[in-house]
Amino acid sequence: MTAHPDATQTVLDACRTLAGFTTTPGSITRLFLTPPMHDVHAFLTDWAQRLGMSTRIDAAGNLRARWEGTGPNAPTLYLGSHLDTVPNAGAYDGILGVVLGFALVEALGGVRLPFALEVLGFSEEEGVRYGVPFFGSRALLGRAGPMLKMRDAGGQTLQEALNEFGLEAGALPSAELTGEALGYFEIHIEQGPVLEAAGQSVGVVEAIAGQNRFDLTFTGRASHAGTTPMPLRRDALAAAARFVVAAEDLARATPGLVATVGMMEVKPGAGNVIPGEVACSLDIRHARDEVRLAVLPGLLASAEGFAEERGVTLTVRPKMEEQATPMHPQFRALLHQAAADVGLPHPELVSGAGHDAMVMATRMPAAMLFVRSPGGLSHHPDEAVLAGDVADALAVGGRFLQLLAAQAGSTGGKHGL
């Protein structure tokens, strides 16, 4: 299959059109189950129907567009990404993968494959509105039910939001996948600088890093900055500051590890008052669970030690733990072959960010192709892609489908993975 010469521009134009569907004019903000998502669904549904695909919005708010295979019992290859954004986002995170899914179907020119293609526009990957990501992909695996009682900042439950959006929260089990799955394929911007530093347009994802997130609270005693001698202070910020540096030192000394304290709230927050309480976050990630889990107890123990040294107490509250997710070796090999077949270098890299692929990989073979992010920038209004890189992603994705089709044909329609 060969994409039409105008396919790249079609993809870019679609991304820019979808960027206009926002709750905040002048910026891109499209949270889960907010009104602009209706416009996104309408735009993509129209495109899908022009291609002859069947479409629906499932009970979790996922857009699902299906191109049937050559037989009634053909397995399904799922491809796509997410439709929601962070506040003040860029135009390509998530959306590019969904749009490329439709472009790959369009490039088939009406040809049926030994497997069905279902393009997924996941309803909630970022987790901004309810604080927990991957509602849409969890729903496909029957794991989203417990999330229905969560409340957003305005107090509305997720169940109420689904109903308000025009869906039936009680029908959530109907979103679960049925039939045989061939696998899941997601194209996504890298959101980092590795491909750009290597001078490459695309890369094959080896694994999605596992991660832990915590909230830490250092509680000391607020007192006058001028009248409290240094030995008698219980400075919560001093303890927290030591911890922040320790986390950075550990990550720098451990290959592949990243550790981030991205949020800190100091109370009472006056220049002449010793901080009595500091709340901060910890986000720690690595592609190998054993590495992350080996260093984590020591890092948290150091935080406890820094607190004790200053007469400060420490409370640690776990928020999230996600295991590292290797991509399927045979799918990865096919992606490498696809890139080689179209004459492109195909470096392998780790995704430090989470993606719906890590959820889907628990049920089926999964693979990801990264597209270069100019400046390594994402979750930012200046997020960008290069037209040539989009064309390369289309070429690799198209060749990947050809290779999968040849493999499925040689095994009588079974994927053999």
Q: How many Cβ atoms from other residues are within 10 Å of residue 329's Cβ?
A: 12
Least confident of 57-61, 69-73, 165-169: 69-73
* pLDDT at position 25 over 90: yes
Nearest to 317 by CA among 217, 236, 248: 217
- The H or E element spanning position 333 is helix 329-341
Mean pLDDT across 148-160: 96
* pLDDT at position 411 over 90: no
Report pLDDT digits (tens) over 364-399.
999 999 999 999 999 999 999 999 999 999 999 999
> What is the band of 131 on the pLDDT scale with cuts at 50, 70, 90?
confident
Return the CATH number of 7-208+324-410, one of 3.40.50.300, 3.30.9.40, 3.40.50.720, 3.40.630.10: 3.40.630.10
Residue with tokens 């007192």: 223
Mean pLDDT across 268-294: 97
> What is the band of 413 on the pLDDT scale with cuts at 50, 70, 90?
very low
Report pLDDT digits (tens) over 213-250.
999 999 999 999 999 999 999 999 999 999 999 999 99
Distance CA 359, CA 140 (A): 9
Determine the pLDDT at residue 132: 87
Q: How many Cβ atoms from other residues are within 10 Å of residue 46's Cβ?
A: 11
Q: How many Cβ atoms from other residues are within 10 Å of residue 325's Cβ?
A: 24
Angle, CA of 277, 278 and 279, to the nearest 5°: 125
> What is the band of 322 on the pLDDT scale with cuts at 50, 70, 90?
confident
Gyration radius from the chain CA atoms: 23
Determine the pLDDT at residue 417: 41
Query: Is the CB of residue 8 less than 8 Å from the CB of residue 394?
Result: yes
What are the domain boundaries of the chain?
Answer: 7-208+324-410, 211-322
Distance CA 1, CA 22 (A): 34
Going by the DSSP 8-state scheme, the letter that residue 262 receives in this structure is -
* pLDDT at position 49 over 70: yes
Nearest 10 degrees: CA dihedral of 56, 59, 60, 65? Answer: -10
Own/partner pairs, 41-44, CB within 8 angstroms, 24+ separation: 41/121, 43/14, 43/17, 43/18, 44/18, 44/98, 44/102, 44/121
Mean pLDDT across 72-86: 96
CATH class of 211-322: alpha beta
